[in-house]
Structure 1
Amino acid sequence: MGQRLLLVDSDRSFLKEHQVSLEAAFDLEVAKSPEGVTTFLEMGDFAAVLICVEVADNKGYALCSTIRKQAALSGIKIALISAKATEEEYRRHQSLKGRADLYLHKPIAPSALVAALAPLVPGRSVDPDNPLGDLADTEMGDDWLDGLKASVAEPPPPPPTPSRPAPAAPAPTVPKSSRATQPPDTTRAHLLEEQVVALREELRLRGQQLQEAEDYLHQQIGATTLNLDEMSARDEMLAAAQKEANDAKEQAHILQLKLAGVEAASRGQDRDLAGLSDRLKQVEAELEAARAQSGEREQQAQTLQEQLQMRQEEITRLTVQVSGLRQQLDESTVQHEGERLELMNGLDQKDAELARMAHTLTEQREAYTALEREKQAAHGKLSEHRDRLKNLETLLQEVQEHLRRGSDLAKG
């Protein structure tokens, strides 16, 4: 089982409030984005990871699922913390295969957060000479440093005394120009050194304030023995001075703990510088390989540029051909339009001629019909004449028969 805790959160106020207490209780690492977290977990000796659901636009659930899917990370406990998730949302997530081992809500007190994570992560062993342990690679953050500088620049006013010691000289700082040109890890080491110097200076000032408060307390105690009439007022002033002295002692103790943590972090940075040097050599080798690849890609880009130039020339030639074809098409369109108009005019003339012929045909059909009617009437009259002729022939035959009979009678 691992021994370290990884916090994945980009909420600066949450880190400012809880990072010191988490570092005092556990061996803590901080990541402000989900990128590279799984690789970091595989390389480190981690027991658990605390993931903020809202990190990097609500990618906390996805990171939890990704960790659960990797067999190499099956032994790592996962805790989720959110400022927006509801209990119903957490219950739905608990029903999934990629569920977490612990679900927490923001805001949460630092002591409560440490107590909730204690079953998942082994606690830091306390060394009497180094209460905060080996805080290698600790990142206090710019907000913590600004707050520390503000507290050093504006210490609480000490009790009034007849005389004050001369103000201490400001702690030496590294110029910003030189800091900007140094590697990130060297800058972090200088930052930790500045924090150590600032903490020592603040501790010295607190010690002076404590000494002044004790001197003032002794003066007040001596004054109370000489003037009994002002005893009640002196008691209140003594109580205030005692309270200030206790506060100064407590702040001095806290500063000693912070100083021990920063010194341990500085020692861890020194140990890591050797490893970072090897890593720098490896990165330089990778940079050379990348430069070689860049040269090859530049050659490929030049070749592609030449091909692109050829394609552009071909496109220009085809564009000229297309322009010529379009001109021919326009001329053909004009010619075809004239021919179509002539054809339409011819069709109109043919239509007019067909109309005249149709009218003539209609008149001829009407004349044929009239002739047919006359023909039928003539056939009717001819039939009547034939009937009359037949009747006349019959009468003639009868007359001939009568004449023949008369002739026979005349002969007999």
Structure 2
Amino acid sequence: MGLRLLLVDSDRSFLKEHQVSLEAAFDLEVAKSPEGVAARLEQGHFAAVLICVEVADNKGYALCSTLRKHPALSGLKIALISAKATEEEYRRHRSLKGRADLYLNKPIAPSALVAALSPLVPSRTVDPDNPLGDLGDTELGDDWLDVLKGPAVAPAAASAPPPPAPASPAPVVPAMGRLENPETRATAPTDTPRARLLEAQIDALRDELRSKDQRLREAEGELQRRIGSTTLNLDEAAAASREAQALKTRLAEAEAALATRDRELADHKEKSHVLQLNLAGLEVAMQGQERDLTELGARLRQAEAEFEASRIRIQEGEQQIQTLHEQLQERQEEVTRLTVQVGGLHQRLDESTVQHDGERLELMNGLDQKDAELARLAQSLAEQREAQAVLEREKQAAYGQLSEHRDRLRNLDTLLREVQEHLRRGSDLAKG
């Protein structure tokens, strides 16, 4: 199992607020895009990765699934954090094979974020010779470190190696990655993690300064013994005296630097108080945002209801269109049947005409006897023609009804487009 934490997020405000506390608690690295994250995790001995869901246009879920499928990263812990994801969305993601080990929401306090990640990532170890770690170069500057380190280290280099001093108690390193000291635990205010870390680091520097002071006193005693020794000449005694004076001067400088750090600590405490006031203002702003979110939720539910009503109206319109299609099909079948009947009547008319011509040829000699029959046939022909005209009018009426149905279909098509437009607007409103 690795010991490091990789943060995949491009949110500058989130990084500005949490990077210092995460670096203080864990061995942290930051990636601002998903590209190359898998290879970086495979090579870097990482214990966990914290992925923002919204990174690179909402590619956090895809990155989580990719890392879960990676055979070389089976022991990697994955935490997701989002500013937009809901509990329902997280619940659905937990049911997938590519689920994460931890789900968090923005905004989140730096201390809460560190506490949530502590079970997944080992706490950062503190180097006794460099208790500030990488934070010594961030925002605090190097001047005060040089002031404190210079006088404390110089005496050991100027004097002869003193006898080994009793070991000072090692500072306690809790899970949150900050130093605790019994003298400061009772008086430390509940401020930001950076101020608490700074107090712990100053306590560690004080312990180191006390150790150096004890070594300095032992060096002075050794120097006094050397001065009292008869084997030393006057030049050696004078040099030893000058060396002791130099050690005392450096000790005074170290004490002055420590006093300066005490004043800086008081300034940081005052800044912590200001930060607490700002935090209270942020909480009020968050409450206002929660009210805004509640109002937006109500508007979203109203939009969903309107969308559902639009969908029902669309279904009703589709059913009406289906009914009109069926009616149109019936009318088309009726027109076909009437066309067949008209064809049959034309055929009968042709047959009657042929029969009439034959009979007239056959009855040339009996015109007087057949005049009545011819008149009857003529009357029958007129009736048939009248019937044909009636059928033609019925055909024209059927065509008129068909045209009317087509107009109604065009109107319904226009209505359907309007319903689709309303549906699109409702969908845009829901997305907004």
Give TM class, smaller chain. Answer: 0.3 to 0.5
Q: Which has the larger radius of gyration?
A: 1
TM-score of the aligned structures, taking structure 2 as reference length: 0.34
The TM-score with structure 1 as length reference comes to 0.35
